[in-house]
Amino acid sequence: MSGSDLILQRMMTLHPKVIDLTLDRMHRLLAALGHPERNLPPVIHIAGTNGKGSTQAMIRAGLEASGKSVHAYTSPHLARFHERIRLAGELISEPALTALLDECVTANGPDAITFFEITTAAALLAFSRIPADYVLLEVGLGGRLDATNVVDPVLSIITPVSIDHQQYLGDTLPEIAGEKAGIIKRLTPVVVGPQQPAALDVIEAVAARLGAPVIAHGQQWHAWEERGRMVFQDETGLLDLPLPNLPGPHQIQNAGAALAALRRLGTGDPEAAVTRAEWPARMQRLRHGPLVDAAPQTELWLDGGHNPAGGEAIAATLARMPKRPTHLICGMLNTKDIGGYLRPLAAVADSLVAVSIPGESATLPAEDTRDAALAAGIPATTAPSVAEALARIKPQSRVLICGSLYLAGTILRENG
């Protein structure tokens, strides 16, 4: 176990709850660290239920292709914690991460603080010390009381909002949208991705109250597919671009939000934004590693989507692929709406093998996932592992491992 792993493990004990939404502890620790949040490069702050990571990846690709240096913060990680913190284009090194975590633990002292809060403080500290042109800062959960909501951004972005994390954000779409809209700052422009009317009404009301200019999908910008190309249009003009390299029709709108952000910033390479973005476990084709070697004639895919909107996006993506027997290997957390996730997939999946997520105390038992799949109309069985599930599926098939970012992280670690 590395030095940073040991410190991160210890950090998990600093608060009795994994999630405890408030900004008081964050402000206290940042003050002890000398307020790094006040000494950052220009910040682009990104909230939303779906598409935050893909949108961030596209913005980063567009900025970096135009010669800009970019810090980026995202969560959760998949294989290693270092993925969360990117400094001027490179993942944070082990020595740098260990030193930062040590410094934050020392500054925090004996006071309670959540894992996400103290690691976010570490990221902000790193960003304040290394020059860059921009910081891309992804919200962890919600927005209003998220640990990242301590910055003064030059641009806010709200990607599509849907029902998720109700135990923390509220049971209705307007309540959840209100939490996401909490990142909007006075007079600071906000790019808004496609929204249901109930969510858009809340976001626009918050922006109006704060005098924040709104750049909204369907109003100030539009994005669509036409003849195998992506077309983007805003008040500046029209862009005719290749389709996004990240698979799925939903990526058209994520790319649109990224392009709207770049146009507002007045910089970035639009074509690179849609063709050079990298974002693992979002309809990622696995092409090498032990799992691929074990099923050489199988088309193997990985996706970490885990809510009903994610299920709809995956189903739309699979429906557009060349016809082939399609089988799911699925593991989910017990906090997710598994029925809502699986129902859209019933139209595109021939079968499902349910697994429990290794090492996750909050995993939904494989038997429960199987029962939910059967209720959704998908023939389903269980298996003790992904490898065993894959061995049961006939060659010449398409297999999607799905249901959780935590399962996706396990696959990426085990598959090299």
Alpha carbon distance 248, 152 (integer Å) = 33
A 10 A CB-CB count for 60 gives 28
Alpha carbon distance 224, 240 (integer Å) = 10
Question: According to the model, what pLDDT value does residue 414 have?
Answer: 84
Question: According to the model, what pLDDT value does residue 226 have?
Answer: 96
Average pLDDT over every residue of 251-279: 97
3-state SS assignment for residue 225: strand
Question: According to the model, what pLDDT value does residue 1 have?
Answer: 62
pLDDT at residue 77 tops 80:
yes
Alpha carbon distance 190, 212 (integer Å) = 7
Q: What is the dihedral of CA 9, 143, 145, 108, to 10 degrees?
A: 30
What digits encode the pLDDT tens for the residues 19-74? Answer: 777 899 999 999 999 999 999 999 999 999 999 999 999 999 999 999 999 999 99
Question: According to the model, what pLDDT value does residue 61 have?
Answer: 98
With CA atoms as reference, report the closest residue to 257 among 309, 221, 203, 310.
221
DSSP letter string, 105-138? HHHHTTS---HHHHHHHHHHHHHHHS--SEEEEE
Residue 138: phi and psi, rounded to 5, are -95, 130
**Can you give the pTM of this predicted structure?**
0.91
pLDDT at residue 146 tops 70:
yes
Which domains, ranges and CATH numbers included, belong to the chain? Answer: 3-275 (3.40.1190.10), 284-414 (3.90.190.20)
Question: According to the model, what pLDDT value does residue 368 have?
Answer: 97
pLDDT at residue 168 tops 70:
no
16-44 per-residue burial string, b: 16 or more CB within 10 A, e: under 16: eeeeebebebbebbbeebeebbeebbebb
What percentage of the chain exceeds 90 in pLDDT? 83
Question: According to the model, what pLDDT value does residue 241 have?
Answer: 98
What digits encode the pLDDT tens for the residues 3-28? Answer: 787 888 887 787 766 677 789 999 99
pLDDT at residue 256 tops 70:
yes
Alpha carbon distance 10, 231 (integer Å) = 49
167 confidence band (pLDDT: 50, 70, 90): low
Question: In this structure, what DSSP letter does residue 104 have?
Answer: H
